[in-house]
Structure 1
Amino acid sequence: MLVRWLIGAAVLALLPLAAHAQSYDERPAKPVLSTEGFNFERRIVEIAMRDGVKLHTVILVPKGAKDAGILMTRTPYNADGLTSLQKSGDLGAVLDGYDSAPDVVVGGGYIRVVQDVRGKYGSQGIYMMNPAQAGTKWNPTKTDDSTDTYDTIDWLVKHLPESNGKVGILGISYDGFLPLMALINPHPALKVAVPMNPMVDGWRGDDWFHNGAFRQTNMPYVWEQVATKDNSSPWISSYADDYDLYLNGGSAGAIGKAHGLEQIGFWNKIVAHPAYDSFWAEQAMDTVLAKQPLKVPTMLVASQWDQKDIYGATAVYRALKSKDAGGDMVYLSMGPWYHGQEIGAASNLGPVKWDQDTGKTWRRTVLSPFLAHYLKGIPMDVAPVTVFESGTNEWRRSDRWPIAEATTPLYLKPGEKLGFDATPGDVQTVDYVSDPAKPVTFVPRPVAPIGYDGDHWTGWLTSDQRPVSSRPDVLSFTGAVLTAPVKIAGVPVVHLTASTSGTDSDWVVKLIDVYPDQVPGDRAMGGYQLAVAMDIFRGRYREGLGNPKPIAANVPLKYEFALPASDHVFLPGHRIMVQVQSSWFPLYDRNPQSFVPNIFFAKPGDYVKATQKIVVSGADASFVALPVVQ
């Protein structure tokens, strides 16, 4: 007992020393960062909206700024993180920010504002993915991204004495959708908008669907973006190959349930609206803005190989340009980029080289003078349409887009040939068997998760199509070697006449530039199959995008759908190819090829093989109408 008492006493005697030792820390309680060498002042403001909700806003004011324009970006991707300081190395601290094109922002001397949208990161309030206009059945609240932008601009012009009272808004992707919302009842101080690669219509051809086929590889994004305020809950997968993940998981609905997506309100909306009903149509920003007065000069920025939002920018351009009576309010830029590449280095896309840094050229000659004109009053020489012409690799200026309409038919012919002359006579077909158990990949396996590391995701639209050309379930119609250039500048349109032994089917059509077998000085491009434009169409919507119907089995039927816009020259020595297939996996969910009311809930027994027959001769021969510039 005595020994135990002595030990206890010794321990008690040591406790004050231990407590004292733990109170010593070589770190300051709250470090104060040195601003030595900084060329800006960073201000953090919680700006109150009309309903009292405060939005976290980072403001970067260049030192010595006076009469400066304001460039703002609203984002769901963490304003603090996107404006955080970078290790300076030997460059010193710089004014930077997300979606900025730093050379344009810094060079222009703009006040930079980045704000978290409602419910994300530092901002208060609820979160809805791409919320619709306030007061509609899809948004019963009294606020939306247009009212929040208005209230934010109102605060900025009243509280930033260094500004000239002129505000511009720009952003990419989701952050490109937000400038479009700002055009609804815009604040008088909003003088210019630059929506880059914006999310516009999630069903027709942007993030969630393409012509009814669901982009299931975006399911991790839905979970991570909505599940938590700060994106801290990751999507978990035990697969190294996404092909196995989505194939073994079954339908997209089954995969979503297994991963907990049924907890997410936006996911439940996607699953409940697989067709193009009012949920999608009434929120499509091209439709919404077509009903608004045109008050703010706007430049829509599109990427010809945008792997995320290839549809939206040109759709909004079409909707707004018809309202531009003076011809000086709506502009379009389209470059040879992946999603958002225009703000960075852009001398190539995968192995395809452009002979110049197209991003830098565009920022210097188009974006910078465009913003300076409206925020500083400096005269500009920017064409209404600025488009990069791949093939010749030259920038072109125009007063309109498209340059040509899709009126030149390129026919699919017997023997998997291709030509501008139709094959007369009796009906002939070329067939293949589509098996949902062995779907065609959109990139070679193993399929990595979506990400911006390497060229897997950023460059997949320009990836070589040869890996699938020899598959028995892919038809490759190839034309003769060209002796003269063929220039297209517009929207190719697919006119497919086909039958299926099933009662539903997907149709994937690709317009491809086949390089010569040898390319001097660029061995990697020898025989390369560069997809110029390609997309998918879910057959059940043949009679109406909002009206899914079973397909009559073994009956040749006509399908018509547009491919993404393209400005390209097929050069002499090259050949033109059109590929046709019925799956594009795992990017898009598998069509079971037997009609079910909602493919999200397809059962294993619903997935069946189908024989697909493409009509290649006679009056109803299949063709792709090209927008050929004569």
Structure 2
Amino acid sequence: MKKTTLGAALVSLACLLSAAAFAMPPTGQESAKVTPDMIQTGSDIPTDWKQPQGNFDYIKRDVMIPMRDGVKLHTVVLIPKGAHDLPMLLERTPYKASGMMPDNSPHMADAVWSGDKDWADGSYILVWQDVRGKYGSEGNYIMTRPPMGPLNPTTTDDTTDAWDTIDWLVKNTKESNGKVGMIGSSYDGWTVAMALLHPHPALKVAAPESPMIDGWMGDDWYHYGALRQVNLDYFSGQTSKKGEGENIPRESYDDYTNFLDAGSAGAYAEANGFKQLPWWNRFAAHPAYDAFWQLQALDKLLVAHPSSVPTMWLQGLWDQEDIYGAVHAWEALKKAGHGANNHLVMGPWWHSQINRDGWNMGPLKWPGNTTAQFRQQVMIPWFNHYLRGTPLPKPLPEAMIYNAVGQHWDSFANWKPASEQSLTPLYLQADMGLGLQQPADGSDSYVSDPAKPVPYLPRPIPQKNDRWRTWLVHDQRFVADRPDVLTYATPVLTKAVTVQGAPIADLFASTTGTDGDFVVKLIDVYPGTDPSDPTMGGYQLPVSLDIFRGRYRKSFSDPSPIPANQVQEYKFRLPTVNYEFKPGHRIMVQIQSSLFPLYDRNPQSYVPNILFAKPADYRKATVTIEHGAAGRSAVLLPVIAGATNNG
């Protein structure tokens, strides 16, 4: 009964739907007509799109500026609307000039990236330029193109390109007052330094920020001969494409594993196609400090071609990438008698942090935004003085260096270069102690195993690493108890010890190998508890550290094997500090033979080129640090006051 009724109902419903379908109005397809405006035979992308900018408070110009050899460089010029008699701020970059405006905002201060917001207040014309051969610029790209001379037989370099650019800008920017300042960090800081070798008369002021000055001695590529192998990604990113290239693909999340499994840095690079890169082939052929590096060292070139341009050399106290350049350029110029127009500024910052917020450095917190305060209160008024003729609130001292413990800026009328410092030896002692008295005798040993190198950060260490910027202030307790790390410490300090300058590591050591690296860290050990910030209880804060490759103990240009089991002296400078070890703290020194994977592993058996060491070359070695009659190892401190009252 139910089945019959349901079936009848379905049939009835089908009939109704069929009738409804026949009763539906026509779709209109039969009468549709195609008109000419419906048809597009070309591209939907116009050949020359122009953004309406009636509400913009600035004008953007994309121009191609001709250089003396006919090559044209892509340049972006931002001009406040209604501008007249404004100075220009120029930055030359390999990192995409058009990318300096990440936001298509109608307001200039909102359109530019964070580092330029303080400059985009309507009182400056902002200019960015792609260096030769990158992004929108014509010509061939050469990594940090050497100055014209033996390494560059052409008629152009970044000095002439800066000159030609400034010359064109002052002649073709009617809204300007004909005065130009240059600024830039890292590679962009290098372009500022290059412009200073023969500056255009319109270049009135300059600020190289964390510039690469000597890539072998202590900036991006090497530190005293030890390769910073994590920069291999930079090589592929910069030189595999005219635009932005890609990083090396990773097998593992942890770069410690990736580099360890690859063997040598050269094997890792060339397994990933680096033989195609001319820069890598030149780089890999010159592991020692030969003419290839010496002729590019800008501190020497700046002294040979000094400028009268007022220059502010900016550096981060914990700059994880270019901690060498600005300090050494400034010191070289001062020693050569050019201190009057050169000033040194060192802030509590990581690399290029001057162009971002500066509320803290890792766990170290400041009472204000140190970078914004410095830009607004010191840097921009100083630029205004030379570019706009406004009076300075107060003269810029020879050196301004942040006191991280006192949390304030210190000004110095006479900051001494490292070669003129008065140094106090802090000797390694028996029972892992540190003190001012000369030790009678003794030594300590550890086994350095290339198969188990000491990491520079707790593992895992991914390629995209948020801790990279602040690794130089990372708590060193994670390695303090490793058997291949020697840790020495003073008694608890009863009075403050203030150090101002560059500490010097002076080690007397022997090894069973024929090569080896030495890492020395100067550390501030916090008291065991800190009620105001419990996470800082017992913190081991690196104040200054660096690495030295043992084969260069006699000569940076002519390496030699280390005589096995013979005591040798390894003496090298650590990064500059302005630091106070407070009462209740201790001073610590850690010594080890690797800092991986930031630096490549030393095989510890001498080979001509460590970049291409073979697996069999990597061998364990017993390293012995002397602190007695065979050699009194120490860290030489530029102590200002208080040291004689502690230990």
TM-score by length of 2: 0.90
Q: List gaps (5 residues or longer) in structure 1.
A: 1-13
Distance 1:177 1:95 in 2: 27
Cα displacement (A) at 1:304 = 0.6
1:94 aligns with 2:109: yes
- Among 92, 99, 108, the alignment partner of 1:74 is 92
Distance 1:93 1:400 in 2: 40
Kindly provide the CA deviation profile for residues 446-479 of structure 1, in whole angstroms up to 9, marking residues without a partner as x: 111155xx3x110000111110011110011011
- Among 281, 285, 294, the alignment partner of 2:307 is 294
Distance 2:40 2:63 in 1: 36
- Among 460, 472, 479, the alignment partner of 2:483 is 472
Partner amino acid, structure 2, of 1:515: Y
Cα displacement (A) at 1:37 = 3.5
Distance 2:113 2:278 in 1: 28
Partner amino acid, structure 2, of 1:383: P
Distance 1:435 1:321 in 2: 43
- Among 173, 177, 183, the alignment partner of 1:170 is 183
1:224 aligns with 2:237: yes
Distance 1:497 1:98 in 2: 49
- Among 563, 569, 578, the alignment partner of 2:580 is 569
- Among 419, 440, 448, the alignment partner of 2:454 is 440
Cα displacement (A) at 1:384 = 2.0
Partner amino acid, structure 2, of 1:546: S
Cα displacement (A) at 1:205 = 0.3
Distance 1:401 1:98 in 2: 34
Question: Which deviates more from structure 2 when the two are superposed, residues 358-367 or residues 494-503?
Answer: 358-367
SS in 2 for 1:519: coil
Distance 2:55 2:471 in 1: 41
Distance 1:438 1:217 in 2: 18
Residues 276 and 26 (structure 1), Cα distance of their counterparts in 2 relative to 1, 3 Å cut: closer
Q: Which residue of 1 aligns with 2:409?
A: 395
Distance 1:572 1:280 in 2: 44
Distance 1:429 1:407 in 2: 23
Partner amino acid, structure 1, of 2:109: V
Matched residue count: 604
SS in 2 for 1:276: coil
Q: Which residue of 2 aligns with 1:6?
A: none
1:368 aligns with 2:376: no
Q: Which residue of 1 aligns with 2:340?
A: 328
Q: Which residue of 2 aligns with 1:416?
A: 432
Distance 2:256 2:195 in 1: 39
SS in 1 for 2:632: coil
SS in 1 for 2:469: coil
Distance 1:565 1:420 in 2: 21
Partner amino acid, structure 2, of 1:394: H
Kindly provide the CA deviation profile for residues 162-195 of structure 1, in whole angstroms up to 9, marking residues without a partner as x: 1111101000000000000001221110101100
Partner amino acid, structure 2, of 1:469: A
Cα displacement (A) at 1:55 = 0.2
Q: Report if the CA contact (8 A) 1:433-1:609 is conserved.
A: yes
- Among 49, 60, 64, the alignment partner of 2:78 is 60
Residues 450 and 628 (structure 1), Cα distance of their counterparts in 2 relative to 1, 3 Å cut: farther
Q: Which residue of 1 aligns with 2:514?
A: 503
Cα displacement (A) at 1:21 = 7.7
Q: Which residue of 1 aligns with 2:607?
A: 596
Distance 2:207 2:571 in 1: 32
Residues 485 and 235 (structure 1), Cα distance of their counterparts in 2 relative to 1, 3 Å cut: same
Q: Which residue of 1 aligns with 2:298?
A: 285
Cα displacement (A) at 1:65 = 1.3
Distance 1:578 1:37 in 2: 60
Partner amino acid, structure 2, of 1:341: Q
Q: Report if the CA contact (8 A) 2:204-2:386 is conserved.
A: yes
Cα displacement (A) at 1:295 = 2.1
Residues 553 and 308 (structure 1), Cα distance of their counterparts in 2 relative to 1, 3 Å cut: same
Partner amino acid, structure 2, of 1:301: L
Q: Which residue of 2 aligns with 1:259?
A: 272
Q: Report if the CA contact (8 A) 2:197-2:307 is conserved.
A: no
1:377 aligns with 2:393: no
Question: Which deviates more from structure 2 when the two are superposed, residues 555-564 or residues 226-235?
Answer: 226-235
Partner amino acid, structure 2, of 1:342: I
Partner amino acid, structure 2, of 1:368: I
Residues 229 and 521 (structure 1), Cα distance of their counterparts in 2 relative to 1, 3 Å cut: same
Distance 2:381 2:252 in 1: 48
Q: Which residue of 1 aligns with 2:621?
A: 610
Distance 1:575 1:96 in 2: 48
- Among 39, 48, 63, the alignment partner of 1:45 is 63
Q: Report if the CA contact (8 A) 1:99-1:171 is conserved.
A: no
Distance 1:101 1:601 in 2: 43
Cα displacement (A) at 1:255 = 0.5
Q: Where do 1:577-596 residues align within 5 Å? A: 577-596=588-607
- Among 413, 430, 438, the alignment partner of 2:444 is 430
Q: Where do 1:110-125 residues align within 5 Å? A: 110-125=124-139
Q: Report if the CA contact (8 A) 1:43-1:59 is conserved.
A: yes
Distance 1:613 1:323 in 2: 40
Distance 2:552 2:83 in 1: 55
Partner amino acid, structure 1, of 2:437: D
Cα displacement (A) at 1:99 = 8.1
Residues 269 and 617 (structure 1), Cα distance of their counterparts in 2 relative to 1, 3 Å cut: same
Partner amino acid, structure 1, of 2:594: S
Partner amino acid, structure 2, of 1:478: A
Q: Report if the CA contact (8 A) 2:58-2:79 is conserved.
A: yes
- Aligned-pair RMSD on alpha carbons? 2.1
Q: Report if the CA contact (8 A) 1:324-1:330 is conserved.
A: no
Partner amino acid, structure 2, of 1:573: G
Residues 493 and 23 (structure 1), Cα distance of their counterparts in 2 relative to 1, 3 Å cut: same
- Among 303, 318, 321, the alignment partner of 1:305 is 318
Cα displacement (A) at 1:98 = 5.6
Distance 1:275 1:406 in 2: 31
Question: Which deviates more from structure 2 when the two are superposed, residues 207-216 or residues 237-246?
Answer: 237-246
Q: Which residue of 1 aligns with 2:471?
A: 460
Q: Which residue of 1 aligns with 2:12?
A: none
Residues 99 and 564 (structure 1), Cα distance of their counterparts in 2 relative to 1, 3 Å cut: farther
SS in 1 for 2:160: helix
Q: List gaps (5 residues or longer) in structure 2.
A: 1-31, 642-647
Cα displacement (A) at 1:362 = 1.3
SS in 1 for 2:305: coil
Distance 2:590 2:422 in 1: 19
Q: Report if the CA contact (8 A) 1:99-1:170 is conserved.
A: no
Q: Where do 1:332-347 residues align within 5 Å? A: 332-347=344-359
Question: Which deviates more from structure 2 when the two are superposed, residues 106-115 or residues 398-407?
Answer: 398-407
Distance 2:160 2:185 in 1: 20
Q: Report if the CA contact (8 A) 2:102-2:113 is conserved.
A: no
Distance 1:560 1:121 in 2: 43
Partner amino acid, structure 2, of 1:560: K
Residues 24 and 558 (structure 1), Cα distance of their counterparts in 2 relative to 1, 3 Å cut: closer
Q: Which residue of 1 aligns with 2:503?
A: 492
Q: Report if the CA contact (8 A) 2:398-2:415 is conserved.
A: no
Distance 2:361 2:240 in 1: 33
- Among 316, 323, 328, the alignment partner of 1:315 is 328
SS in 2 for 1:333: strand
SS in 2 for 1:106: coil
Distance 1:450 1:275 in 2: 29
Distance 1:98 1:149 in 2: 22
Q: Report if the CA contact (8 A) 1:402-1:489 is conserved.
A: no
Q: Which residue of 1 aligns with 2:524?
A: 513
Partner amino acid, structure 1, of 2:167: D
Kindly provide the CA deviation profile for residues 63-108 of structure 1, in whole angstroms up to 9, marking residues without a partner as x: 12111111000000000112242568xxx553654684421x1236
Q: Report if the CA contact (8 A) 1:333-1:387 is conserved.
A: yes
Q: Report if the CA contact (8 A) 1:510-1:533 is conserved.
A: yes
